Structure 1
């Protein structure tokens, strides 16, 4: 088991590079992973089951102990990204399907990998996990409703069918995993060790499936959609950090809010796009997966190095004083 844990740490550490390689490969040779596209809902459910095995009571306790922090994070999550997506779609004059895809990415809950990035960025990991959990619980209602409000002029949207899809894909696997972890603690212990490797593999599969199933649409949308997705996530990271600062949060919390707002569950967005709309709608989600991973990895690395430099400076000052 130690070997699997070591492999998991290596893969997690190099996840950004691996995601980029997978995305590029699938773009040029999509046939290899086209089998993943129709199975993305199942893959995401497995991923969420793994996440559910790691959820502890303390994470819900934190919501009661620090309601202000969790409320600010959840509020930013479901307002900034949807509104920014809507505004960008208007500025770039995107087609109805591409606009819907970008808005769908914005209305989805926080991405699971934000917890890993928060850890790497030396952020408040407990807050990150609580925010991801809370936004996921709220998603069955808020994702369809906000999507309908912002995108109803583009295409017909069924709130009920989207609600059922999110319940089946996200909520039920998490509930089953929570029950399983209580009944079978040894399986829970095993899953906690396996999760870094499993999550990384499943994330790469989701990226491969979304890219492979959207190659032609990506080629057609071209550089405009690429820029739209980059700006969407970039503004999310920036506004999350700024608003957290205005709310008098400390540096560790500001980093978490930034990552939670900027990172979306693109796997869910892709699944919803393929299940309820057309492949063109999935373009934003297909680009979002690898691009937000790159963005967040750069941010996490910057913040981690900033902390390292601070620690080094403090040690140097201590040495001078002692001398």
Structure 2
């Protein structure tokens, strides 16, 4: 039987189940929740059979998580006495580790090659999105902590998915990678101050504590990813490896020294904390990379697919946990919050694109800036909300913004892809082709 007919049948069956679930929901039947989940699951699988819909399958899986949490919240708050919200930060760290494993210092060389585009994107991202979040929080009458969450999602670095959107949109992928790397590295030093300035009226913000939390969620896992990349993917000479490893160890030590100062820890606590960090984020990725490199039956594509899969699963689980924790608030203000996040996201796309146009950047760069400005790292926002002890309220906006931006971003990328692109200069064009080829290999494994 033709596989396309099977996938078409799944979508038809999903539509019928969805219709039945809707009818049961309005008459108050408890089976409606299970039927909604079944319909969405079949839809996610059915989309895989159509190239034009395949990109939306992941978004449907996120919707499955949301529906599960809305109908059966108690099942996703605690399991056997274990609070599921405790997995949020580890999953964010795993995601950032995966990002670091695909990066190297070469990604930062783009700052020298494309300084204008990088500078405009970073400035626009860290001014436009927080400001829009602030204006939207004042415009709509949300509870203070929910309003603070809208500002928070505007203050975090750009989303990793923006690179995928740039690739799909035939944008400047090398520029996207460089902007994403710079945005991420700068986050511990920018996000806390922006949040304090714009969101301090809604929630109490401890700048020093937030800097430490973001560093532990972003910088340290990315460093671990760099180390993994160095020992598995790259062929750096011994001298370069020693220099980079020394720098990475210094970053971990400096982070722990700052933690000791902020948290008033003793020297003994510092040594224990430093040793723990070195094991998890320095020696373990190093040893794992060397072992995997010797395992001939495990290819690079398998590892990259594994890292991507873990990141996607982490985002789905985090969405599930946050939605379950904030279910009551979400049911009260969910519709308005979705509209708010949509305005926030689409405004970022538009302002990013037209700012690049005003400054005379070529079409490919304009597309890149649209995604880098408009797409936010919801995982980091969620992790910050958890560390502040307000994931059920402060984390709601990020739970909505993340899935929503994947939907709008995919739609915009597909539209851009159909539009003609003016030529770049030869050097940038060659670099873009090489990096797009590597990125395509990462996507398809």
**TM-score (normalizing by structure 1):** 0.86
Distance 1:14 1:183, change over 3 A: same
What's the Cα RMSD here? 2.3
Task: Tell me how far 1:13 sits from its aligned partner.
Answer: 6.2
- In 2: Cα distance, 1:33 partner to 1:118 partner: 34
Which one of the candidate residues 223, 232, 252 is aligned to 1:184?
232
Which one of the candidate residues 61, 71, 76 is aligned to 1:28?
71
- Does structure 1 conserve the Cα–Cα contact (< 8 Å) formed by 2:98 and 2:308? no
Q: How does 1:34-183 map to 2 (within 5 A)?
A: 34=77, 36-183=84-231
Task: Tell me how far 1:114 sits from its aligned partner.
Answer: 1.0
Distance 1:64 1:122, change over 3 A: same
**Residue of structure 1 in register with 2:35 after alignment:** none
Larger radius of gyration, structure 1 or 2? 2
Query: Are residue 218 (structure 1) and residue 320 (structure 2) matched?
Result: no
Size of the aligned set, in residue pairs, is: 302
Task: Tell me how far 1:31 sits from its aligned partner.
Answer: 3.8
- In 1: Cα distance, 2:74 partner to 2:408 partner: 28
**Residue of structure 2 in register with 1:305 after alignment:** 418
Query: Are residue 227 (structure 1) and residue 352 (structure 2) matched?
Result: no
- In 2: Cα distance, 1:38 partner to 1:22 partner: 17
Which one of the candidate residues 48, 55, 58 is aligned to 1:15?
58
Gaps of at least 5 residues in structure 2 are 1-47, 79-83, 234-288, 294-299, 422-445
- In 1: Cα distance, 2:148 partner to 2:58 partner: 28
Q: What stretches of structure 1 move > 4 A for 4+ residues in a row? A: 9-13
- Does structure 2 conserve the Cα–Cα contact (< 8 Å) formed by 1:12 and 1:196? no
SS of the aligned residue for 1:155 comes to coil
Q: Which moved more, 1:76-85 or 1:196-205?
A: 196-205
Gaps of at least 5 residues in structure 1 are 1-5, 309-323
- In 2: Cα distance, 1:54 partner to 1:292 partner: 22
Q: How does 1:233-272 map to 2 (within 5 A)?
A: 233-272=345-384
- Does structure 2 conserve the Cα–Cα contact (< 8 Å) formed by 1:210 and 1:285? no
- In 2: Cα distance, 1:211 partner to 1:94 partner: 17
Q: Which moved more, 1:99-108 or 1:293-302?
A: 293-302
Task: Tell me how far 1:12 sits from its aligned partner.
Answer: 5.7
